[in-house]
Amino acid sequence: MIAVHWNIFEPIFKKDKNYWAECFKLIAKLRNPMAHLINEIIEAHDRQKAEGYCNEILHLLNNTSFSLEKKSIVYYKKNK
């Protein structure tokens, strides 16, 4: 969702879209094995890296005063 609606999230995420594209790619790669408890196919360094990205995302979202709800409504109305 973040990658698709980058124009909404860009002010929050601060780093460029290419940086986050790599983050999202790794998180997506690990999502299914983790969701289905097939953890043995996930390499430890990939898991640690993905956890770091997730923590970075949570930190940025928790420390923003940016109103996603208002921005989403404006985006929805504009692109309807």
Percent of the chain beyond pLDDT 70?
80
Would residue 4 count as lying in a domain? no
Would residue 20 count as lying in a domain? yes
Would residue 25 count as lying in a domain? yes
Would residue 50 count as lying in a domain? yes
What is the total count of domains within the chain?
1
Would residue 1 count as lying in a domain? no
Would residue 5 count as lying in a domain? no
Helix segments in the chain, DSSP class H: 6-13, 17-35, 44-62, 68-78
Percent of the chain beyond pLDDT 90?
30
Would residue 6 count as lying in a domain? no
Domain region containing 62: 15-78
Q: Is the pLDDT of residue 73 over 50?
A: no
Residue written as token pair 């409504």: 73
* 23-47: pLDDT as tens digits: 999 999 998 888 787 877 888 999 9
Q: What number is the average pLDDT over the span 7-13?
A: 85
Q: How far apart are CA 9 and CA 80, in angstroms?
A: 19
Would residue 64 count as lying in a domain? yes
pLDDT of residue 63: 81
